[in-house]
Structure 1
Amino acid sequence: MKLNVLIIVILLMTGCKENSKTTPVNEEITKDVASHTVNTADVELEIYDFAGFEKFLNKKDNKIYVVNFWATWCAPCVKELPYFEKLNTEYKNKNVEVILVSLDFPHMYDKKLKPFIKEKALKSKVIVLDDPDMNTWIPKVDESWSGSIPATVIYKNETSKFYEQSFNYEELDKEVNQFLN
């Protein structure tokens, strides 16, 4: 238990520390979501432990999947979400599916995550990965993953690439286009 808490603290400090001070727009987004009440009754969350979530990493149906790991408390994650939304819109008819995997903590679902989803009108599929045993599931996503976010997996059938980085739209578009062949 102490190890999991330590890992969470390390993730919070390392995964999003670098860019959080350089993106005042994200602070405004966070303040905006928290500053007023949003009716989130119609925002349903699909919540999975890793065993339930793993199916989203292993589909073999000739579709390209873009699976982004993010959280509302991660400024670089929030900054890149519009690029994933744009990709979802522009590639919808090209057999591409964007899945946004929230790593927000359970106590944040109703007060932060649901209002954020509604306020930003996210159209991509949003699911929640709620499995505290990160030591087990992080290397199952990718052996090279340190656990910091944002992180993204792009795959089609047996071909998969893992990215432990932030994206702009052009970079994301370029990576997805490699799978369209």
Structure 2
Amino acid sequence: MDSENKILIGSWIQAVGTVLSAVSSTRFLVRVEEQSEGLDMVGNVLQATGNALEADGQEGYTIGKIGNGIQAIGNITVISGLLIEEDTIIRDKLFISGNLLQALGGAAALRDEWDGPDVDTMAIIGNLLQVIGNSLQAIGGANEIKTGESESIEAIINTGSWIQAIGSVILAIDITKEQANIK
């Protein structure tokens, strides 16, 4: 598979993964906890796979390539937390750390979009939304540990999930348009 296809396919795999993870955090869509966790697991696996494909498709060593790699590591960290059977502080800390790593990776990718003569506004917006979304999820997780409450914090995490999903879909559309030379 050539580099452009890796980036394109990776962006859509990541977008599908973020949407699945957002759906998993939306209680009126998925009411059974086991189904929610399973859907979140699949979503994070897809996100990690998509980010890894995007990183692999990028030529040379750029901040964006490193950012995609960091995002994939963040997803793997979240997956590690989901594999812990009991609801523990370690599980919650892995969720928080994974989302912070994803935000850091997104910030690196965002930084990479500012370089060069052509500024890609859609890519900037998409990456910025992902950074905001992941940050909200981490903040929600940290507040849940701190307060012990989950219902009021759930809205923060859910909002962050959907903001991240919107950002990743915007990026996938942007990459698709860019590769098709559509402005």
The alignment's TM-score, normalised by the length of structure 1, stands at 0.29
Please state which structure has a larger fraction of its residues in helix. Answer: 2
The higher-RCO structure (CA 8 Å, 6+ apart) is: 1
Please state which structure has a larger fraction of its residues in strand. Answer: 1
The alignment's TM-score, normalised by the length of structure 2, stands at 0.29
